[in-house]
Amino acid sequence: MKITLQALLSHIIYIFVLLGAYFLIKETPTFTTPVILLLNYSSYIIFILGLILCIRFNQGRVFLIILLLALFELILNCSQELSKYIELYSEILYPTMCILMPLNLITFSQLKERGIFSLWGKLRILFILVELVIIYYFSSSNDLKIENLLNYNFINLPFQEIAMPQIGLILFNLTLIFFIIKIFLRDNVLETRLIGVTISLFLALILINDSLSFSIYLSAAGLLLVIGIIEDSYSMAYLDELTGIPSRRALREDLMKLGSKYTIAMTDIDFFKKFNDKYGHDVGDDVLKLVASNLTQVTGGGKAFRYGGEEFTIVFPGKSIEDVLPHLESIREQISKCGYTRKPSTTKTSKSKRGNSSQLFVTISIGVCEKSNKFKNPNEVMKGADKALYKAKKKGRNCVSK
């Protein structure tokens, strides 16, 4: 599993949210009444914000999880306050919630994104409502068999004072293990967030008898999801969907931050159209990803962007052409030696002239230009780099020109 700097920063943010919730609970004795009142309702405020953001960015799976958290908190709080039969709450309703919540987290995380108000989205919301009917049925049945099943003890534990039934403890641990395994098998950002949500939800249910702690940990769970929505919206706006590197919009913003000295390089994959036509768009997309991943490793303080199509831009703030040429030559050579392993094709028409070989190689041409009296602003420097790129093409490609 490759962990990028952005992913690492995300993980750190999630850890800080959980630690913040813990230290907030430790400081609750010092809080004034208005602050305590705000904390008691903070989870609902965060859930409403999360639902609005989900609708705005059409995040169906996260919408379901936040809606589930909000409804379950509402049911637990209202039932605890209004129930005349506290045994029904502690022996049936609460254990049912402890079982259903981790199961729902796993289920919703594995669903495909189908939007919120599509047919599939409405069916999933209906599924949550059906669950609420089942919860109501169990809670009002007063069935001793159901109660015994929900609170069955598999083994004798030394910490029997924990209110959560053993089946709930097992399911929460299995859910946590499931998400951890999924991250190592496939680095999925939603599942990374759901590790924090699972931990927060577990702690909230463990501390169910302390309403303030319960609300704070649920707020942490909601906040993790809200942060995730904001991160996703940033990625959609500033990261190229195919390659994962900064997009043209991010390039425009970075160009406005440049000082009085900088160099810009324009790069282009050689013969990419012919390559795309010969091997297909899927292979072409994989090659774009391969080139992009290599360009992000450029040294000398350069930052790579996808400009469009098979073109990329590398910006070197505070550097001259002479400073960056060795680094551009190095990355050009690195890409020329970095082969792409093509999956064997089952069709005769897609076989290449190289027979059974599945190793493909691509090269790039680079044009570079620095800010000067002739090229006074980023747009002019980019045009200069573009002209230098055409020179590199005319010189035979797979070279750097200035």
pLDDT band at 89 (very low <50, low <70, confident <90, very high): low
Over residues 195-221, the mean pLDDT reads 92
**pTM score, two decimals?**
0.75
Looking at every residue in the chain, the average pLDDT score rounds to 85
109, amino acid identity? S
In percent, the amount of the chain with pLDDT more than 70 equals 88
| DSSP class of 91 | I
DSSP letters for 331-355: HHHHHHH--EEPPPPSSSTT-BTTB
Q: Is 317 helix (H, G, I), strand (E, B) or coil?
A: strand
CA distances from 209 to 15, 140, 163, 168 (A): 25, 21, 9, 16
Using one digit for the tens of pLDDT, what is the confidence trace for 317-364? 999 999 999 999 999 999 988 877 776 654 444 444 444 456 788 899
In terms of pLDDT, which residue wins out, 28 or 350? 28
Angle between helices 5-26 and 211-238 (to 10 degrees): 160
Using one digit for the tens of pLDDT, what is the confidence trace for 150-191? 777 777 766 556 678 889 999 999 999 999 998 888 767 788
- Domain spanning 248-401: which CATH class is it, in words? alpha beta
Over residues 197-203, the mean pLDDT reads 94
User: Could you give the residue range(s) of every CATH 3.30.70.270 domain in the chain?
Assistant: 248-401
Most confident option among 19-28, 29-38, 46-55, 79-88: 46-55
